[in-house]
Chains A and B, each alone.
Chain A
Amino acid sequence: GENVEQHPSTLSVQEGDSAVIKCTYSDSASNYFPWYKQELGKGPQLIIDIRSNVGEKKDQRIAVTLNKTAKHFSLHITETQPEDSAVYFCAATTGNQFYFGTGTSLTVIP
């Protein structure tokens, strides 16, 4: 089956700086890669996703890049704000089943 690794497990940045979270996957058949943000006491919320036929996607301060050859994808958050503090999960899927990374706890220091 698929194996998704996520790094770092914790990340602290100063407000206004950028944050980068990286994930690798093992199954070359994986074709869809969503990112989720989980705030304390809430369920994971989809923030951005990318399909295997695209190398990069951006939505305001959030961007995701995908390198299919190297089997890795990354989440980039620019101009971080305190409300970006949360746990972020990457995931990969070939179709039926989602495989989640182990999560990154991001803290934005005001």
Chain B
Amino acid sequence: DTAVSQTPKYLVTQMGNDKSIKCEQNLGHDTMYWYKQDSKKFLKIMFSYNNKELIINETVPNRFSPKSPDKAHLNLHINSLELGDSAVYFCASSVLPPGGAQYFGPGTRLTVL
């Protein structure tokens, strides 16, 4: 069974559209994250949620809005997509910090045309 799953795996869309990426974890973890990985493979944290509450919100445009309906889900909604949003987005989860290993999903490759 997949521990951290994301849908869709690929997302191709036009500039200006609104899209969502869904993430679910079945590990019973308390904390979930969204990362953006650019073409140079650099992993940049975007958001972190702990028990449905936002605890980290890095400097990302407010076009990106995470939503956590429950502890096992953290979805990412992106408004007015721009070319620069093209990247691979990873969801991850961990036990309550400090010092818990993060487990990553398979990623969603977003391409904005």
Cβ-Cβ contact count across A and B, 8 Å cutoff: 56
A42: Cβ under 8 A from any B Cβ:
yes
Q: Is B64 an interface residue (CB 8 A)?
A: no
CB nearest to A96 among chain B residues: B97
A43 within 8 A of B: yes
Residue of A nearest to B4 (CB): A43
- Secondary structure at chain B's binding surface: helix, strand, loop or mixed? loop
Q: Which of A37-53 contact B (CB under 8 A)?
A: 38, 41-46, 49, 51
Please classify how large the interface on chain B is, using the bins under 10, 10 to 19, 20 to 34, 35 or more.
20 to 34
Question: Size range of the interface on A?
Answer: 20 to 34
- Tell whether B104 is near chain A: CB-to-CB under 8 Å: yes
Residues in B with CB closer than 8 Å to A100 are 42-43
Q: Does B55 contact A (CB under 8 A)?
A: yes
A42–B40 CA distance with the chains assembled, in angstroms:
15
B42 contacts across to A, CB distance below 8 A: 100, 102-103
Complex CA–CA separation, A41 to B98 (angstroms): 29
The answer to whether B56 touches A97 (Cβ under 8 A) is: yes
Contact B90 A87 (CB under 8 A): no
Among B45, B99, B105, the residue within 8 A (CB) of A43 is B105
B101 interfacial contact with A, CB 8 Å: yes
Contact A51 B99 (CB under 8 A): yes
- Tell me whether A93 and B97 are in contact (CB under 8 A): yes
On whether A43 and B107 interact (CB within 8 A), knowing A87-B41, A103-B42, the answer reads yes
Residues of chain B having any CB pair with chain A under 8 Å: 4, 40-43, 45, 48, 55-56, 90, 92, 97-107
Give A residues with C-beta under 8 Å from B: 31-32, 34, 36, 38, 41-46, 49, 51, 87, 89, 93-98, 100, 102-103, 105
